[in-house]
Amino acid sequence: MLTLDEIGELPLDIQPFLLRVLEDRAVQRIGEARARPVDVRLVVSTNRDLRAEVDAGRFRRDLYYRIGAVALRVPPLRERGDDALMLLEYFNAVASERSGRDRLEFTPEVLDALRSYRWPGNVRELKNLVERLHVLASGPVRLIDLPPDILQPVAVPEAPPAPAAVTRLEDAELVTLKNALEAEQGNLTRVAQRLGISRPTLYRKLDHYDIRRTFR
């Protein structure tokens, strides 16, 4: 089986070569005089609307019909509820096997934050997060180990989150701020660096939670 990821990104001038391989069931290596027969099952994926790409002239119509025998739509991760946590465990196991380290453990607060997050980068974003945590985290993964984007609402073209969801995210952000302040002993420059935000943004967050005056 041959898997081609993001087929919609294939340049228009390269698409005829793929079409020829699929139609002739043969490939010819550079420098060889004869084509070699190939017999593979092709699976392609894309996050683009290929039909719209065809109409816009960015994807060949003949290739579109050649690869479109069976089409399956996989909903984005934000529409799949607890699938994020199942994929989290899968990527955790894969990263552990590759790195030779123990599997990561996640606190309940972290699992709640990951479950509530909207994952604009879809499954790849989750996979990259797990790989990043395997490199940087030590001990159980806590809220402070997560990127700031995961701890705040993400703008998406849909109805705003329910008040309960906003409350959970604000609670998580407050815990993250307090942990960072404690870890850096109230040094706001180091706190901002630790959280990956600017000092003005940090000041706004501290004012929002009414905790700025408690620290230097």
Question: Are 2-67 and 78-214 the same fold in CATH?
Answer: no
Contact present, 139 and 101 (Cβ < 8 Å): no
Q: Measured between alpha carbons, how far is 24 from 40 in angstroms, rounded to an integer?
A: 12
Question: In sequence order, which residues have a C-beta less than 8 Å from that of residue 13 and are 6 or more positions away?
Answer: none
Q: Tell me if the domain spanning 78-214 has CATH number 3.40.30.10.
A: no
Sort residue 133 into left (φ over 0), alpha (ψ -120 to 50) or beta: alpha
Sort residue 74 into left (φ over 0), alpha (ψ -120 to 50) or beta: beta
**Three-state DSSP class for residue 202:** helix
Domain boundaries, the chain: 2-67, 78-214
Please give the class, per CATH, of domain 2-67: alpha beta
pLDDT digit string (tens) for the chain, length 216 residues: 788 888 999 999 999 999 998 888 898 888 888 888 988 888 898 888 899 999 999 999 999 988 887 788 888 888 887 888 999 999 999 999 988 889 999 999 999 899 888 888 888 899 999 999 998 887 899 998 898 888 865 444 444 444 444 344 456 667 777 777 877 788 888 877 777 677 777 777 787 777 754 555
